[in-house]
Amino acid sequence: VETLIAWSKINSGSSNVSGVNKMADAICQYVKARIGCKIKTVAMLKVQDISLTGNPISKPVGDALILEKHSQTAHIKILLCGHLDTVFDKEHEFQHPTKIDEDTLQGPGVTDMKGGILVMLSALEIFEKTPLAKNIAWKVILTPDEEIGSLASRELLETSAKDYDLALVYEPSVTTDGVFAKARNGSGNFTVVVHGKSVHAGREFHKGGNAITAASQAITQLNAINYLDDKQITINIAQIQAATALNIVPDKAVFKFNVRFRNDEESLWLQQHIDEIISNINALPNISASLHGGFTRPAKPLTPNTEKLFECLKTVAKQLNLDIKLQDTGGCCDGNNLQAYGLPTIDTLGVRGANIHSNKEYIILPSLIERTKLSAVLLLYLANNKNMFNSC
């Protein structure tokens, strides 16, 4: 718990590059004292985005941290993933952990997912002390930008996935009683920049092109897609910026939105309809609109291979008197990408807690030991059972 309190005190908001790297350092020190493995950091490319003024910007992110253990006698290769960053940047009011009672610690990142990282590393530490350790080759990837969509670390995850048989991700469980994520929605972030034509609002209004009203039309059409027909697509218009003097027709409006969808068919349908709406707006007189961004995470339906991995988890959970329950969730994570890269993936092996992404985030402390045991016995089970997922 002391380790978790110390880690929670390190601000590692996705935009706080030095904070994320400091978090990686703290984990390095922790690992060096406990687990024999290769440790390295990998610098990430900057994330390209469009600002609310419509200009290209690039955002730096911290380094990814990689831990690796090879084994000549391994019959299975496992990728374990987590993220160093949190949603709380340096300016956020929520910076310090507070012990609420014996079993509850409130603090930034305690559940999402510094507690999960602690579970992952503790399970590896236990596993590496057993004779079965030689049967598994593993790699840990801790990304610096999961909370902003893993745009910088996506490539690292994709190239690593090719060499591994399955992925274990340490996001918190879906509910306080430990439910695992079954299917996850996919997600995407888009920016629309609308240019109009600025004229005097009194003298030559008819010659203008109002970027705000054009953007509003696009927003209304996009909003109409929510829960359309039998689809479960949602579009959240989250940011908008435009302003000029009241006697001038505005020549620029920028807005941003997030989309969620259940499967590839829905994302394909969605892309076509977004493109259609943008071309409708482009057909308006004196208006030009451009679409930026795209889908960041594919949907994660429950695949037969992931189901097989859940069966393994259920088997070992019985030894610990734990009942494994699954539930769909609209949230997404690196697990979406890892499964899309071909790996059977369980992505809620982290701790139990609640109120993540808010200043009331807390962890149920006994879940640290409970989840460490669960992961340790899962690793032992996979080490002991050949030919389940192996490519070695």
Provide the binding-site residues for Zn ion, judged by CB under 5 A: 112-113, 171
Closer residue to Zn ion in complex, CB, 145/171: 171
Least separation in angstroms between CB 169 and Zn ion = 9
Q: CB-wise, 15 or 198, nearer to Zn ion?
A: 15
CA 254 – CA 237 distance, rounded (Å): 11
Give min distance, CB of 113 to Zn ion, in A.
4
Whole-angstrom distance between the N-terminal and C-terminal Cα of the chain?
A: 37
Measured CA angle at 20 (ends 14, 22), to 5 deg: 160
| Shortest distance (Å) from residue 15 CB to Zn ion | 16
Residue 247 corresponds to which tokens in the numbers above?
């006697």
CB nearer to Zn ion: pick between 112 and 251: 112
Long-range contacts of 272-280 (CB under 8 A, 24+ apart): 273/225, 274/190, 274/222, 277/218, 277/221, 277/222, 278/192, 278/218, 280/217, 280/218, 280/221
Q: Shortest distance, CB of residue 146 to Zn ion, whole angstroms?
A: 6
Instruction: Give the nearer residue to Zn ion in terms of CB position, either 278 or 346.
Output: 346
Which residue, 171 or 251, has its beta carbon nearer to Zn ion?
171
Residue 8, Cβ density class (10 Å: 0-12 exposed, 13-18 middle, ≥19 buried): buried
Which residue lies nearer to Zn ion by CB, 78 or 349?
349
User: What is the number of the residue whose Cβ is closest to Zn ion?
Assistant: 112
In a 10 Å sphere around its CB, with 0-12 CB exposed, 13-18 middle and 19+ buried, how is residue 388 labelled? Answer: middle
Rounded-to-integer distance, Cα 213 and Cα 190, Å:
19
d(CA 124, CA 283) in angstroms, rounded, equals: 58
Residue 145 Cβ vs Zn ion, minimum distance, rounded to whole Å: 11
Of 30, 151, 136, nearest to 83 (Cα)? 151
**Cα 249–chain centre separation:** 40
Question: Around 284, how many Cα atoms within 13 Å sit in the side-chain half-sphere?
Answer: 24
Q: What token pair was written down for 318?
A: 């019985």
**DSSP string covering 38-68, please?**
EEEEE--PPEEEE-TTS-EEEE----EEEEE
**Between 289 and 338, CB nearer to Zn ion:** 338
Rounded to 10 degrees, what is the CA torsion of 147, 109, 137, 159? 10
Distance CA 105, CA 111 (A): 9
Give the amino acid at 141.
Answer: I
Distance in Å, CB of 341 to Zn ion, minimum: 18
CB of 244 vs Zn ion, minimal distance in Å: 40
Q: Output 113 or 312, the one with its CB closest to Zn ion.
A: 113
Q: Which is nearer to Zn ion, 112 or 361 (CB)?
A: 112
- Residue 300 Cβ, how far from Zn ion at the closest point, in Å? 14
Closest CA to 310 of 353, 372, 390, 374: 374
To Zn ion, the closest distance from the beta carbon of 83 in angstroms equals: 6
In the complex, the smallest distance separating the C-beta of residue 387 from Zn ion, rounded to whole angstroms, is: 33
Q: How far apart are CA 92 and CA 85, in angstroms?
A: 14
Closer to Zn ion by CB, 142 or 235: give it. 142
